C-alpha cells in the first residue's frame, strides 16, 4: 500500500492493434518500456485510454497477466477491472489479482446507474478483493462520486485513493483529510500536485511525453507546465482516447489501426496537434517520426 500511495506518475497506457485489429503485444511492450525508461511509477492496463471497453474480458485479462509477467518487477501494474455490472467487476477483479496485478481501478456503475447506497455497496464489494483506486469521472458515468460517498469508502482497508476529475479544490479537500488523490485532468495535474497537495496524476499525456510529465510531478515548474497546456488540452479535443491514439500514430509509435467506433482526428485537428508536437524536442516524444498522415493512412477494424 505504501508503494502504491508513493506513485506520483501513473500512465493510462495505450493498447495498440495490428492491421486486423488484434492486440499487438510487441508494440505494447515497446510503449511500456518507454514509460519505464522515463521513470513512470505504474501503468493502468485496459483503462479508458487503453480501450478496456473495446477489449473482450479474455483480451483484457491476458493483457494484465502479460504486463505483470513482463514488467511487474519494474513498475506497478494496475488493472482496470471495473464494470457497471457488479458480478462482472468482482469476477474480473479476482482474476486480475490472481494474475498478479498490484491494484485495481474501479468505477461507479455507468449508464445503468444506481442509487448512492448501491454505488457504495458495488464499490465495497470490489474493495473487499484487494487494493483499489476509485475513479470519479462524472463526464463518463453520469454520476458524481461526491465526498459523502468517498469518505465512506475511504474507511475500507483496501482503499488506496481516488482518481479525481472533479478539480483541484476537491482534491485539496480530500488530501486535508488524509484521503489520497491523483488528478484525472492532465492540464490541472501540475498545480494539483504542487499547490493543492495531490499525490500525483493518472495520465493520458504521459503516453506521448512521459519524461516531461515526470518533470511536472517531481518539481514545481510553472514555465514547463505553461508550455504543455496547449498539448494537454488538444489531447482532449475529442473524447479520449481518440487524440492520443492519433498522436501515437503520427509519431510512428503505433501502427495507424483503430478499433471502431474510434476514428482518427480530422486533418485540421491533426495539423493543430502536429504544430504542438513539432514544438517539442524529438527526444521528449514517444515515437521516432512526426508526420501529419493522410486520411487514407488510417485503418479501421472491429
Mean local confidence (pLDDT), 109-126: 97
The secondary structure of residue 129, as a DSSP letter, is T
**Is pLDDT above 90 for 1?**
no
Please list the active-site residues. Answer: 135, 163
Residues 273-287 have pLDDT tens digits of 999 999 999 999 999
How many Cβ atoms sit within 10 Å of the Cβ of residue 255? 16
3-state secondary structure of 263: coil
Q: How far apart are alpha carbons 297 and 123 in whole angstroms?
A: 42
Give the closest residue to 203 by CA, choosing from 176, 231, 175: 231
Superfamily of domain 2-219: Aldolase class I (3.20.20.70)
Q: How far apart are alpha carbons 56 and 76 in whole angstroms?
A: 23
3-state secondary structure of 71: helix
Q: Where are the domains of the chain?
A: 2-219
What is the helix (H) or strand (E) element at residue 159, kind and residue range?
strand 159-164
Residue 98 CB partners (closer than 8 Å, separation 6+): none
292, 271 contact by CB (below 8 A): yes
Query: In terms of DSSP bridges, do strands 132-136 and 200-203 run parallel, antiparallel, or are they unpaired?
Result: unpaired
Give the closest residue to 167 by CA, choosing from 207, 143, 136, 204: 136
pTM of the model: 0.97
197, 215 contact by CB (below 8 A): no
How many Cβ atoms sit within 10 Å of the Cβ of residue 92? 25
Residues 15-56 have pLDDT tens digits of 999 999 999 999 999 999 999 999 999 999 999 999 999 999
**3-state helix, strand and coil shares in percent for the chain, rounded to the nearest 5:** 45, 15, 40
CA 169, 132, 178 angle in degrees (round to 5)? 40
Query: In terms of DSSP bridges, do strands 42-45 and 181-183 run parallel, antiparallel, or are they unpaired?
Result: unpaired
Cell of 218: 517531481
What is the helix (H) or strand (E) element at residue 99, kind and residue range?
none
The size of the chain, in residues, is 302
Residues 150-162 have pLDDT tens digits of 999 999 999 999 9
Residues 177-225 have pLDDT tens digits of 999 999 999 999 999 999 999 999 999 999 999 999 999 999 999 999 9
pLDDT of residue 258: 98
Q: Which residue is listed with cell 506521448?
A: 208
Residue 185 CB partners (closer than 8 Å, separation 6+): 165, 167, 192
Amino acid at each position: 500500500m505504501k508503494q502504491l500511495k508513493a506513485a506520483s506518475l501513473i500512465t493510462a497506457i495505450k493498447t495498440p492493434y495490428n492491421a486486423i485489429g488484434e492486440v499487438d503485444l510487441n508494440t505494447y511492450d515497446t510503449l511500456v518500456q518507454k514509460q519505464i525508461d522515463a521513470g513512470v511509477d505504474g501503468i493502468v492496463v485496459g483503462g479508458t485510454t487503453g480501450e478496456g471497453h473495446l477489449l473482450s474480458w479474455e483480451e483484457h485479462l491476458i493483457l494484465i497477466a502479460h504486463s505483470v509477467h513482463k514488467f511487474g518487477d519494474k513498475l506497478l501494474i494496475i488493472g482496470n477491472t471495473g464494470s457497471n455490472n457488479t458480478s462482472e467487476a468482482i469476477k474480473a477483479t479476482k482474476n486480475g489479482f490472481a494474475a498478479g496485478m498490484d491494484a485495481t481501478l474501479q468505477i461507479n456503475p455507468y449508464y445503468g446507474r444506481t442509487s448512492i447506497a448501491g454505488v457504495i455497496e458495488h464499490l465495497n464489494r470490489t474493495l473487499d478483493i484487494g487494493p483499489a483506486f476509485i475513479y470519479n469521472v462524472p463526464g463518463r458515468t453520469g454520476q458524481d462520486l461526491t465526498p459523502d460517498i468517498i469518505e465512506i469508502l475511504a474507511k475500507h482497508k483496501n482503499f488506496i485513493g481516488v482518481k479525481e476529475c472533479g478539480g483541484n479544490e476537491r482534491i485539496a479537500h480530500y488530501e486535508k483529510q488524509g484521503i489520497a488523490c491523483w488528478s484525472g485532468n492532465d492540464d490541472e495535474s501540475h498545480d494539483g500536485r504542487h499547490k493543492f497537495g495531490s499525490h500525483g496524476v493518472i495520465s493520458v499525456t504521459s503516453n506521448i511525453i512521459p519524461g516531461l510529465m515526470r518533470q511536472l510531478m517531481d518539481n514545481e515548474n510553472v514555465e514547463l507546465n505553461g508550455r504543455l497546456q496547449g498539448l494537454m488540452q488538444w489531447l482532449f479535443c475529442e473524447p479520449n482516447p481518440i487524440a492520443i491514439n492519433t498522436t501515437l500514430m503520427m509519431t510512428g509509435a503505433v501502427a495507424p489501426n483503430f478499433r471502431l467506433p474510434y476514428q482518427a482526428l480530422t486533418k485540421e485537428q491533426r495539423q493543430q496537434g502536429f504544430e504542438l508536437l513539432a514544438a517539442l524536442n524529438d527526444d521528449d516524444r514517444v515515437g521516432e517520426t512526426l508526420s501529419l498522415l493522410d486520411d487514407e493512412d488510417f485503418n479501421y477494424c472491429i
